[in-house]
A = this chain, B = another copy of it.
Amino acid sequence: MVDTAPRTASKQQKAAPERPAETAPPKSARTAASAPQPAPPAQPSIDVATLGRQLLGTWADLRLAARERAAHPDLQRIEGQSMDEHRERVLGQLKILVDQRAVHRAFPTSLGGFDDHGGNIAQFEELVIADPSLQIKAGVQWGLFGAAVLHLGTEFHHETFLPDIMSLKVPGAFAMTETGHGSDVAAIGTTATYDEAKQQFVINTPFRGAWKDYLGNAAVHGTAAVVFAQLITKGVNHGVHAFYVPIRNTKGGFLKGIGGEDDGLKGGLNGIDNGRLHFTNVRVPRVNLLNRYGSVAEDGTYSSPISSPGRRFFTMLGTLVQGRVSLDGAATTAAAMALTIAITYGNQRRQFNAASDTDEEVLLDYQRHQRRLLPKLATTYAQIFAHDEFLVKFDAVFSGAADTDDDRQDLETIAAALKPLSTWHALETLQEAREATGGSGFLAENRMVGLRQDLDVYVTFEGDNNVLLQLVAKRLLTDFSKQFAKADAGVMARYVVAQTADRAYHGTGLRRLAQTIADFGSTARSVSELRDEQTQRELLTDRVEAMISEIAGRLRDARKLPKADAAAAFNRNQNELIEAARAHGELLQWEAFTRALAKTSDPGTKQVLTWVRDLFGLGLVEKHLAWYLMNGRLSPQRAQAVTAYIDRLLERLRPHAQDLVDAFGYGPEHLRAKIASGAEQERQDEARAYYAAQRAAGTLPVPEKSKKK
Contacts and interface: CB of A to CB of B under 8 A. Distances in A.
A342 to B, nearest CB: 13
A603 interface: no
A626 to B, nearest CB: 4
Contacts of A573: 30, 367
A355 B567 contact: yes
B266 A489 contact: no
B453 A439 contact: no
Interface in A1-45: 17, 19-20, 22-23, 25-26, 28-30
Interface string A459-484: 11100111000100000000000000
A459 B372 CA distance: 15
Interface stretch (A123-131, A206-214, A410-418): A206-214
Interface stretch (A148-156, A384-392, A558-566, A608-616): A558-566
Given A238-B704, A266-B449, A568-B355, A630 B79 contact: no
A96 interface: no
A90 interface: no
Given A367-B574, A439-B214, A572-B19, A563 B444 contact: no
- Copies of this protein in the complex: 2
A465 B207 CA distance: 48
Interface residues of A, number: 130
Contacts of A355: 563-564, 567-568
Given A439-B214, A554-B26, A629-B636, A264 B232 contact: no
A264 B366 CA distance: 30
Contacts of A263: 443
A236, A361, A427: residue with the most chain B Cβ atoms closer than 10 Å = A236
Contacts of A630: 29, 625, 629, 636, 639-640
Interface in A252-273: 263-268
Nearest to A684: B209
Nearest to A636: B630
Interface stretch (A175-183, A318-326, A527-535): A175-183
A189 interface: yes
Interface string A183-227: 110010101000000000000001111100110000000000000
Nearest to A269: B442
A83 B573 CA distance: 47
B22 A557 contact: yes
Contacts of A466: 368, 372, 435
Interface of A: 17, 19-20, 22-23, 25-26, 28-30, 79-80, 82-83, 177, 179-184, 187, 189, 191, 206-210, 213-214, 230, 232, 235-239, 263-268, 302, 309-310, 351-357, 360-361, 365-368, 371-372, 427, 431, 434-435, 438-439, 441-445, 448-450, 452-453, 456-457, 459-461, 464-466, 470, 489, 550, 553-554, 557-558, 561, 563-565, 567-575, 578, 622, 625-626, 629-632, 636, 639-640, 647, 682-684, 686-687, 690, 701-705, 707
6 contacts: A19-B572, A22-B565, A79-B264, A182-B439, A236-B701, A625-B629
